[in-house]
Amino acid sequence: MQQVPLLSLITFLPIIGMIIILFLPKNNDKVIKALTLAVTGIQVILGIVIWRFYDYSLGGIYNQATFQFVEKFRWIEIPSVSWLGTIKIDYFLGIDGISAPLILLTAIITFVATLASWNIKTSLKGYFALFLLLDTGMMGVFVSLDFFLFYIFWEVMLLPMYFLIGIWGGPRKEYAAIKFFIYTLLGSVFILLAMIGLYLSATETLADGSKVFTFNMLALMNSENYTHDGILSPLNPNNFRLLAFLALFVGFAIKIPMFPFHTWLPDAHVEAPTAISVILAGVLLKMGTYGILRINYPMFPEITHQLAWWIAMFGMINIIYGALCALAQKDFKKLIAYSSVSHMGFVMLGMASLNTAGISGAVFQMFNHGTITAMLFIIVGIIYDRAHTRGINDFGGLANQMPIYTGFVTIAFFAAIGLPGLSGFISETFVFLGAFHVESIRLITVISTLGILLGAGYMLWTLQRIFLGELNPKWNTLNDLTFREYAMLVPLTIIIIVLGIYPSLMLDLMNSSVNTMVEFLLKSPVSFSGL
């Protein structure tokens, strides 16, 4: 498969779709929808192809030879720019076990979100064009191995999101969109700063023996590539690596979103249309944790060790705080948004363990949270489409009115609670096992387990208030699921159940990469401090 540029294909396919859509006549609704569906469908197929041809034994992380589906060629080359020397930027794509699950996730979630967009009525053309652009941005973030390219995709994803919330959103859409945009842009600025700092601190040796500054992530992970006087060089005794780590971390943490940078999330979710909530929760939040794993961890291993305790601490705060906030919500969508905050806390806790069980659990939790929360937002969307309200207390007794829908809701809720047999349980268990293994964060882990208790509390309470009890006669006209809604919920349900029963499908995919990461983090502090 080395000949086919699969990663470029999966990344830029939506752009091609977008261009075609832009050339289509304006009121050609059906064709636009069908085209988008086809594009995202092909993406899913490509994702599966990538998964089938993926070699489970290769580790990736810092070694280009063990990355897969690598595409690398010179993209930008500007010779002799004053004191910078030659600027060379690569078009460098590749995946390992950390990004592979997330590519699958992105493909699946985008496909489902396309179906969820079916009800969009106004300016369809613009919506789907932006939607596909967003798709490219997300895919690109997960496949790029060049920091510059990564950053471009990161920003590409931001703009369509702003318009998608700001134009097709709810009553307070402008506020939510601008809040999302500015918050994320603030994060991007931090990332940009650190990125430039790193660029100016490390060099890469080219084939002709000359040394140039580099954005190559893998080169940035190798302490030998750093110059002696770079501000972010480990060789420089007066370096600013801690500061750069924090800048990157804050940039990514806004995306997770980590307490206290999380308040854009409830607003954005509440105002965004269903499909965009699905993408936001399903994919965008993962970029934060993915960024930390891909960039912060291997580029700053010694600081990772120093700050792991804090990451766990903030993970715990996210878990407990998010769950308690969710308990108090009266808006269904807001509740799910806060439960996202809580569940992303598990990812952070797992990452902080710095061992295989914890990091595998974290990556797996990213995937599971993607599917489960996507399902939850679809569920909210379905009820909102019918009842035009999201107030939890407005409902009651829907179980008799919409029994099949209630069945799906029950599965999704219990998956979110972490019921065994559903995928959320495995990832949470792995996170806890991994984190509990580390002595310094053991207490934090024990306190975090309260999260699964609170999770059961708010989920079951919501289930009761919306679906159980006597039916409010106001709602006796609501219909059960349509075919399109089945098409959204069934695949996600199958994924949740299959991964709950046979998690090895996913765990084996990431295992060797996670091991490589753990080993890399283990040996690095020694070599870094010894220099």
Partner 1 sequence: MSEYQIIVFSLFTLFAPLVGFLVTIFWGKKFKSMYLFEVAVITLVLLASIAVMVVKLGYLTDTKIVSEFAWISLGNLPVLGEFNLTLGIMIDNITVIMMFVVSLISTLVHYYSIAYMKGDKRYNRYFAYLGIFTFSMMGIVLTHNILMMYIFWELVGLSSYLLIGFWYEKKSASDAGKKAFIVNRIGDVGMFAGIMMLFITYHTFTFDTIFENISNGILPFNSDFWLTITGLLLFCGAIGKSAQFPLHVWLPDAMEGPTPVSALIHAATMVAAGVYLVARIFVMLTGDALLIIAVVGALSALIPATIALTQNDIKKVLAYSTISQLGYMILALGVGSFVYGFFHLITHAFFKAGLFLGSGSVIHSMHHEQDIQKMGALRKKMPITYVTFVLFSIAIAGVPLTSGFLSKDGILAGTYAFGLLTGQWIFAIVGFLVAMMTAFYMFRLVILTFHGEPRDPHKFEHAHESPLLMTIPLIILASLSVFVFYTANPVDAEGGWFLSKWVKTPETVVPQSARYSFMVSDAETITHQEKVVHSISYSEALHHAHMPAIFLSLFLAGLGILTAFLFYQWKKLNADKLVANIKPLYNFSYNKWYIDELYEATFLAFTMGLSNLLAWFDQKIVDGIVNGTATVTRFFSRFIGGFDTIVVDGLVNLFAYMSGMLGLILRKLQLGKVQAYIVLVIFSLVILVFLFTNLQL
User: Which positions lie near partner 1, rule CB under 8 A?
Assistant: 179, 182-183, 259-260, 262-264, 321, 324-325, 327-329, 354-357, 360, 397, 399-400, 414, 419-421, 425-426, 429, 432-434, 436-437, 445-446, 449-450, 452-454, 456-457, 460-461, 464, 467-470, 503-504, 507-508, 511, 515, 518-519, 522
Shortest distance, position 169 Cβ to partner 1, whole Å: 18
Nearer to partner 1, 115 or 399 (CB): 399
End-to-end CA distance of the chain: 41
CB 52, CB 156: distance < 8 Å: no
Rounded to whole angstroms, the Cα distance separating 342 from 315 reads 8
Shortest distance, position 16 Cβ to partner 1, whole Å: 38
Structure tokens at 359: 């990091």
Nearer to partner 1, 142 or 414 (CB): 414
Structure tokens at 41: 């469908």
Rounded to whole angstroms, the Cα distance separating 310 from 306 reads 9
In three-state secondary structure terms, 87 is strand
Nearer to partner 1, 254 or 292 (CB): 254
Nearer to partner 1, 22 or 522 (CB): 522
Nearest Cα neighbor of 303 from 218, 234, 396 is: 234
Nearer to partner 1, 144 or 445 (CB): 445
Shortest distance, position 106 Cβ to partner 1, whole Å: 25
Nearer to partner 1, 139 or 312 (CB): 312
Rounded to whole angstroms, the Cα distance separating 35 from 146 reads 31
Residue type, 241: R
Shortest distance, position 475 Cβ to partner 1, whole Å: 14
Tokens 């969109």, residue located? 177
Shortest distance, position 318 Cβ to partner 1, whole Å: 12
CA-to-CA dists, residue 316 to 291, 351, 528, angstroms: 20, 12, 29
Nearer to partner 1, 295 or 514 (CB): 514
Rounded to whole angstroms, the Cα distance separating 520 from 436 reads 21
Nearer to partner 1, 222 or 515 (CB): 515
Shortest distance, position 180 Cβ to partner 1, whole Å: 11
The DSSP result for 160-217, as a single string, is HHHHHHHHHS-TTHHHHHHHHHHHHHHHHHHHHHHHHHHHTTBEEE-TTS-EEE--BH
Q: Give me the phi and psi of 186, to 5 degrees please.
A: -60, -45
In three-state secondary structure terms, 360 is helix
Shortest distance, position 418 Cβ to partner 1, whole Å: 8
Shortest distance, position 7 Cβ to partner 1, whole Å: 27
Shortest distance, position 464 Cβ to partner 1, whole Å: 5
What count of other Cβ atoms lies within 10 Å of the Cβ of residue 475? 18
Shortest distance, position 22 Cβ to partner 1, whole Å: 34
Nearer to partner 1, 173 or 262 (CB): 262
In three-state secondary structure terms, 495 is helix
Rounded to whole angstroms, the Cα distance separating 164 from 134 reads 9
To 5 degrees, how large is the angle CA 57–CA 58–CA 64? 170
Q: Which residues, listed in sequence order, are joined to residue 482 by a DSSP beta bridge? A: none
Nearer to partner 1, 391 or 420 (CB): 420
Nearer to partner 1, 107 or 254 (CB): 254
Shortest distance, position 187 Cβ to partner 1, whole Å: 13
Residue type, 348: M
Rounded to whole angstroms, the Cα distance separating 326 from 333 reads 10
Shortest distance, position 400 Cβ to partner 1, whole Å: 8
Rounded to whole angstroms, the Cα distance separating 369 from 428 reads 10
CB 267, CB 371: distance < 8 Å: no
Nearer to partner 1, 86 or 429 (CB): 429
Residue type, 91: Y
Nearest Cα neighbor of 309 from 445, 131, 130 is: 445
